[in-house]
Amino acid sequence: MNQIDSYIPTDLTATDLEALEIELAELLTRRRFIIGAGGLLGAAALGACGASNETADSSVTTGATRTFTDDVGRTVEVPANPQRIVALTDSNAGAQVLSLDVPLVGLATREGAITPGIAKVYDVEMVKGVGEYGSPNIEAITMLKPDLIVAAAWQGKPEFGVEDGVNAKIEAIAPTVYIDAYTDLDQTMARYGELLGHEDKVAMQRQAYEQRVAQIRETLGDARERLTVSVVLANSTGNVDTIGEGWWAIGKALEDLGIARPVNQAKGSTAGDEGYAQVSVEKLPEFDADVILFSPNGYDPRENVLFKNLSGVQADQAYEFIDEYWNGAYPDMQKVLDELERILIANKVNVDVVME
For the chain, 356 residues long, the average pLDDT of each consecutive 10-residue run is 44 51 49 39 40 40 85 95 95 94 95 89 94 91 97 78 73 95 89 97 98 96 93 84 85 94 82 75 92 86 92 95 81 94 90 76
What burial class does residue 315 get, using C-beta atoms within 10 Å of its C-beta: 0-12 exposed, 13-18 middle, 19+ buried? middle
Q: What's the confidence (pLDDT) of residue 19?
A: 52
| Domain coverage including residue 220 | 213-345
Same domain, yes or no: 222 and 153: no
Q: What's the confidence (pLDDT) of residue 21?
A: 55
Q: What's the confidence (pLDDT) of residue 272?
A: 63
- From residue 273, alpha-carbon distances to 170, 180, 246, 255, 270 in Å are 32, 17, 9, 14, 5
Q: Which of 162, 197, 232 lies at the terminal end of a domain, its last residue?
A: 197
Residue 204 covered by a domain: no
Q: What's the confidence (pLDDT) of residue 60?
A: 47
Residue 10 covered by a domain: yes
Query: Considering only CA atoms, which of 46, 30, 20 is closest in space to residue 126?
Result: 30
Same domain, yes or no: 145 and 27: no
Beta carbons of 293 and 265 less than 8 angstroms apart: no
Residue 123 covered by a domain: yes
- From residue 331, alpha-carbon distances to 89, 150, 266 in Å are 17, 19, 25
Task: Enter the pTM of the model.
Answer: 0.78
Residue 356 covered by a domain: no
Q: Report d(CA 250, CA 246) in Å as an integer.
A: 8
Same domain, yes or no: 192 and 252: no
Q: Which of 59, 80, 104 lies at the terminal end of a domain, its last residue?
A: 59
Residue 205 covered by a domain: no
Nearest-10 Cα torsion for 116, 122, 124, 127: -110
Domain total in the chain: 3
Residues 6+ apart with CB under 8 A from 305: none
Q: Which of 197, 222, 248 lies at the terminal end of a domain, its last residue?
A: 197
Q: DSSP assignment of 183-218, as one string?
A: S-HHHHHHHHHHHHT-HHHHHHHHHHHHHHHHHHHH
Q: Which neighbouring-strand residues pair with 306?
A: none
Same domain, yes or no: 151 and 35: no
Q: Report d(CA 192, CA 89) in Å as an integer.
A: 14
Same domain, yes or no: 114 and 154: yes
